[in-house]
Structure 1
Amino acid sequence: MDTFGDKGAPDRTRPDHEVIVVGAGFGGIGTGIALQRKGIHDFIIVDKWDRVGGTWHANTYPGVAVDIPSFIYSFSYEQRGDWSRVFAPGSELRDYAESMVDKYGLRAKLRLSTTVVAAEFDDRHSLWRLRTDGGRELTARHIVLAIGGLERPKMPDIQGLNDFGGTLLHTAMWDHDVALRGKRVAVIGTGATALQLIPAIVEETGHLTVFQRTPIWVFPKNDAEVGALGRQILGRKRIRSALRVAGNLGTELAMSGMVVGPPWLTESGRRLAEGPIRRWMRRQVDDPVLRDKLTPRYGLGCKRPSMSNDYLKTFNRSDVSLVTDSIERITERGVITADGTEHEIDVLICATGFKLWDRGAIPPFPVRGRHGLDLERFWDERRYQSYQGVSVPGFPNAFTVTGPYGFVLGSYIWMIEATAAHLSRAIAEAKRRGATEIEIRQDVHDEYFERCLKRQEKNFLFTPVCAGSNTYYIDNKGDSPFRPSTHGEMYWQNRHFDLDVYRYSTGAPHPAAVAVRSEEVS
């Protein structure tokens, strides 16, 4: 096994920092603030980008915006009333992240343009060694992987993709120097990103072709500009908080309620909601054939829906084509579909999402725990699992913000606040006890994992209702590694768990951890 020591790294026995946070998106920023609130100030935040913001820095495609009202998609302790729109554009979310960094004194903690390429736990000295792309080694007693799920763009696995002679783009790697005016442009994908992109570029393109595999449920978007009066209203803390509570309750019922509610209630609620939404969708499209193609056959909630007042209407235009035949291959000139038609294009845009559950995607670099236990291999062989999305046995002093079974469907911000509170509380307790190692107990972790799997048994995602949805809510093992709970339960449990669910020590490996490693090797 290739270790840091093999590369001639100095044998440093004292860590450079108490904590290293990998990722400077909202997860990393929220973690930094949570650590400070627990009196932990010796930490740095490392990120591969040259600016903070994570997803909102990486994604700059036309039309990018938050799909949850801005006054909800913000930290509870840093609510704002000066958003330009109800659903703020992506640039404002990035600016919000920058303002958080400045307000909470995190600027000096940042180590930007620094890519972590490997992380390995040093059993002998009870610390983590991180290697960067510049060959430097960073060490810390604890690490926090604040790497979001929208981290690695996923290109479609289509024959001939690299043979395309025109311009090839992915929405997460947008090139603003590419001109679309008058061009024949094609978009592969009709998910939430495409819903924002397609109406934003259609006025510019000469002809737009959309390749659809699975139609998406579309809600009307009650968006509006927040004028002077709106900012004045949202500037009042009580009004803003009341709107936030109402929005949170609505999201709780509409999303997490669909997962954890009793089957008879979720089924009746889903059917009750589907009717008016389907009727609204059909009214947006003039042509009956197109209307039918754009209408989902799977149930509402099987995959993340989105909102747009313009997406469906776009297909009424004569300069827009919807293609539902499967793509056979890509040539130098365009796209050939299963019916033998070659669609000639100049620009090919892949709105095909991210490598969420793909092997090698999480974590995006090798992470080796006690005795070299590899996290990617562990999850690949044993299914995705972690305690409350934060801790995995065999990986002492390591925590995640967006780990398996940590995210309740809704706003990522709620999860970030919850998991950041959890891990900062655990690290602070280890510091209070004078422990050099902290690790989730195997029995506690297993009990939580089994409880999540048990709750999944009534999840409608695994019923015929969701057949054909191609949902990313289900991973490559057939599980749905989202937390099957309410946001209230997530909030409470992450802040009030018994601190003794963790094992604290001064470095002597626990026999259970050795057994895990032995089984993994065999």
Structure 2
Amino acid sequence: MFDAVIVGAGFAGIGAAIQLKRLGIENFVILDREDDLGGTWYVNHYPGLAVDVPTTTYSYFFEPNPNWSRLFSTGTEIKQYADDVADKYDVRRHIRLSTVVEGARWDEETSQWQVSLADGEVLSTRYLITATGFLSQPKIPDIPGIDSFAGRIIHTTDWQDDYDPAGKRIAVIGTGATAVQLIPELAKKAADLTVYQRTPIWVVPKIDLRFGPLAKKLFARVPATQRVLRWFTDSVYEVMVSIGVVHYKTCRGRGNISAADLSKLHRFITIRDKELRRRLTPDYDFGCKRPTFSNSYYRAFTRDNVHLQDVGIDHVQTDGIVGKDGAKNEIDTLVLATGFDLWEANFPAIEVIGRDGRNLGKWWRETRFQAYQGVSMPYFPNYLSLASPYAFLGLNFFNTMEYQMRLMERLFGEVKRRGATTFEVTEEANTRYLDRMTELLGDSLFTLGNCASARSYYYNPAGEPTLLRPTTTETAIREASEFPLSDYAIN
């Protein structure tokens, strides 16, 4: 029997493991279906992969990295950071890789979780923590005839490193954050590249500074300098989210309009073709769908070998794609930059059965998506879900992990102090929190803005924007450190 089982060895799972160790809990295991740690930063390795949040901000606050090569670091560097942190905090020895978790069930007689693995093994644990991330289940488009395509199909989450785009006729489906990074790289070598766009994306210029040897040396010798830079980048992003999303009503969308104007100016400077600019311009408010940074995305469409198709796809044939206008585009490679299935396949990522047989996924869909402090649900004792409704703080995942680690410290610390064996959030506390989140969202961009055409993963299937926690990072961290312990039944 384990004291804790963590599902997922990405940054959330690593952070949870570090916090358990700080609390004196060493008898735990981390389970991950992949053959290495790092989560999305191990799975994704397509050309052009980089973080779209400054790496001074995209890192654990307690573990600054003086070795970043630039402000927006590459995926390779982010993966190395995950390796380094796991090694420094002795997390790797707790990880079981290539292990698929099928589900977990609360055993009321033993007050333990029974975690079922795909190979038939069942693990017993006191605590269950799912750290499966928000972007972990790839979305495969349901396009007629796609299975008949005779060429190569590559999903960006399963990039084939031996693939050489040189001289190829390529079609890319999707224009999200991943496509914005990938398309310019493919455009450099492809004989012909057609981008199939359903929803345009807001793109603003990227100010990507390089950190030379002197900067790295300064960061290493005087860590306070890097913390000051982090404070600055954190503050910029916090202001962006606060003005543009959380307090949209108060600010009357002025921040969103300014950001959209910057993106429009970026397109105008880069693309001289007025009609092409129009087709690349979103018709929803800035921020309804995750925007991104790039200095090369718009420029890629000015190349002779790159074409934008936005009339829609009718079906796929063995040698190409037929658009809804009847035109056929012959290709030899189909790249799916179609993102992730957040709500249907990821909430939750595994089947979780709590007290009295409550099925978490079914309960969420039959009632509403909800989670107290973004981690706890009633009828699910000794369980924390780190990828839940109202968990994600704006643009930076590590701020989310920061407050969740604080909550773990307070909650598990109280359980230990009382000599208790179980904790469970009360229905009253959960309802009170849900009502508060709903009220706060009433003043947000997602409720008051023009978001109908964004097709944003921020919204669940019922049309509620329940992915993001509509508070500041400071508020989330304070609440995680000070929430009323009476909000949990601790026995």
> TM-score if structure 1 supplies the norm length?
0.91
- Contact 2:202–2:260 (CA<8 Å) still a contact in 1? no
Secondary structure of the corresponding residue to residue 466 of structure 1? coil
Partner of 1:384: 369
Partner of 1:293: 279
Task: Report the AA paired with residue 354 of structure 1.
Answer: F
**Which of 189, 192, 200 is the aligned partner of 1:204?**
189
1:378-398 CA distance string (max 9 Å, x none): 111112100011100011111
1:265-323 CA distance string (max 9 Å, x none): 14122223322331122211122211111112211111111001001000011101100
Partner of 1:55: 40
Matches within 5 A, 1:275-294: 275-294=261-280
Matches within 5 A, 1:58-457: 58-235=43-220, 236-261=222-247, 263-358=249-344, 360-457=345-442
- Contact 1:392–1:440 (CA<8 Å) still a contact in 2? yes
Partner of 1:7: none
Partner of 2:31: 46
Gap runs ≥5 in structure 2: none
Partner of 1:510: none
- Contact 1:185–1:348 (CA<8 Å) still a contact in 2? yes
Deviation at 1:428, TM superposition (A): 3.0
Measured in 1, the distance between the counterparts of 2:401 and 2:242 equals: 16
Secondary structure of the corresponding residue to residue 69 of structure 2? coil
Measured in 1, the distance between the counterparts of 2:309 and 2:480 equals: 46
Measured in 2, the distance between the counterparts of 1:227 and 1:49 equals: 34
Secondary structure of the corresponding residue to residue 199 of structure 1? helix
Deviation at 1:233, TM superposition (A): 3.5
Measured in 2, the distance between the counterparts of 1:230 and 1:280 equals: 30
Partner of 2:470: 484
Deviation at 1:262, TM superposition (A): 5.4
Secondary structure of the corresponding residue to residue 6 of structure 2? strand
- Contact 1:259–1:485 (CA<8 Å) still a contact in 2? no
Measured in 2, the distance between the counterparts of 1:479 and 1:452 equals: 11
Measured in 1, the distance between the counterparts of 2:415 and 2:226 equals: 37
Deviation at 1:225, TM superposition (A): 2.8
**Which of 483, 487, 490 is the aligned partner of 1:501?**
487
Distance 1:421 1:187, change over 3 A: same
1:355-407 CA distance string (max 9 Å, x none): 1112x432222110112211110111112100011100011111011211111
1:165-195 CA distance string (max 9 Å, x none): 1111110111112332211001001110000
- Contact 1:119–1:366 (CA<8 Å) still a contact in 2? yes
1:179-228 CA distance string (max 9 Å, x none): 32211001001110000001112112111110011111111111133221
- Contact 1:31–1:424 (CA<8 Å) still a contact in 2? no
Distance 1:364 1:262, change over 3 A: closer
- Contact 2:103–2:350 (CA<8 Å) still a contact in 1? yes
Deviation at 1:159, TM superposition (A): 1.2
- Contact 2:285–2:451 (CA<8 Å) still a contact in 1? yes
Measured in 1, the distance between the counterparts of 2:209 and 2:256 equals: 27
Moved more, 254-263 or 98-107: 254-263
Moved more, 30-39 or 428-437: 428-437
Task: Report the AA paired with residue 299 of structure 1.
Answer: D
Deviation at 1:229, TM superposition (A): 2.2
Deviation at 1:434, TM superposition (A): 2.3
Secondary structure of the corresponding residue to residue 161 of structure 2? coil
Measured in 2, the distance between the counterparts of 1:86 and 1:79 equals: 13
- Contact 2:249–2:448 (CA<8 Å) still a contact in 1? no
Task: Report the AA paired with residue 253 of structure 1.
Answer: V
Measured in 2, the distance between the counterparts of 1:203 and 1:399 equals: 45
How many residue pairs match? The answer is 489
Distance 1:451 1:193, change over 3 A: same
Partner of 1:11: none
Measured in 2, the distance between the counterparts of 1:272 and 1:317 equals: 28
Measured in 2, the distance between the counterparts of 1:257 and 1:38 equals: 37
Secondary structure of the corresponding residue to residue 465 of structure 1? coil
- Contact 2:246–2:445 (CA<8 Å) still a contact in 1? no
Measured in 2, the distance between the counterparts of 1:460 and 1:38 equals: 39
Measured in 1, the distance between the counterparts of 2:327 and 2:365 equals: 39
Partner of 1:34: 19
- Contact 1:390–1:422 (CA<8 Å) still a contact in 2? no
Measured in 1, the distance between the counterparts of 2:72 and 2:58 equals: 9
| Aligned-pair identity (%) | 38
Moved more, 449-458 or 224-233: 224-233
Deviation at 1:438, TM superposition (A): 0.9
Measured in 2, the distance between the counterparts of 1:462 and 1:262 equals: 9
Measured in 2, the distance between the counterparts of 1:194 and 1:443 equals: 43
1:237-258 CA distance string (max 9 Å, x none): 1211111111111101101332
Deviation at 1:73, TM superposition (A): 0.4
Partner of 1:467: 452
Measured in 2, the distance between the counterparts of 1:399 and 1:312 equals: 42
Deviation at 1:110, TM superposition (A): 1.1
CA RMSD of aligned residues (A): 1.3
Moved more, 145-154 or 232-241: 232-241
Measured in 2, the distance between the counterparts of 1:418 and 1:47 equals: 23
> TM-score if structure 2 supplies the norm length?
0.97
- Contact 2:204–2:262 (CA<8 Å) still a contact in 1? no
Moved more, 162-171 or 219-228: 219-228
Moved more, 417-426 or 109-118: 417-426
